[in-house]
Amino acid sequence: MADTKKPSLTVLGGPMAGTRFVFEEGTQHISVGSDESSSFRLQLPGVSPSHARIVIEAGGVTIYAAGGEAGLHVNDNKVDEGGTPLRNGDIVWLGTPGDVDVVMLQCILPRVAAQPAPPPPRPAPAPEPPEPPV
């Protein structure tokens, strides 16, 4: 069974439907494209050799176009030079939505569980009573 608690991209249709790329812990950069050097390699007609790059930082995950001629969209909005932040459930389009060779990816970014608060400090022990005089 796939680990749905890890961030990932999943191909939604076509001959590679269901192909999933999991963001391993500690990963900071992911390249998406048809080139064999791509982190997430998709050998499909609408995918450029270097189509997109994803940057993972403490503040979130951002996707950037990496020169794919077909373009890059997130939820039907074109990704510009400044990149687009990704959120859980976003649809990434490698190409223009509606084109024949477009590839759809679903972005899964599970919410990171809040770290439990540290336990409260223990109270200081009560001072021992003085010994009675003898």
Question: Which of 82, 100, 103, 112 is CA-nearest to residue 7?
Answer: 112
Structural domain includes residue 113: no
Is 29's pLDDT higher than 80?
yes
Q: How far apart are CA 65 and CA 94, in angstroms?
A: 9
pLDDT digits (tens, 9 = 90+) for 110-122: 875 444 556 677 7
Tell me, yes or no, whether 128 lies in a domain.
no
Domain around 32 = 9-108
User: Has residue 14 been placed in a domain?
Assistant: yes
- Residue 131 domain-assigned? no
Residue partners of 57: CB distance under 8 A and separation at least 6: 28
Domain count, the chain: 1
- In CATH, what number is assigned to the domain containing residue 92? 2.60.200.20
Strands (E), 1-134: 8-11, 20-22, 29-33, 40-41, 52-57, 60-65, 72-74, 77-78, 84-86, 91-94, 103-108
pLDDT one-digit tens code per residue, 16-27: 999 999 998 888
Instruction: Dig out the tokens for 37 from the structure.
Output: 């050097």
Residue 35 forms part of a structural domain: yes
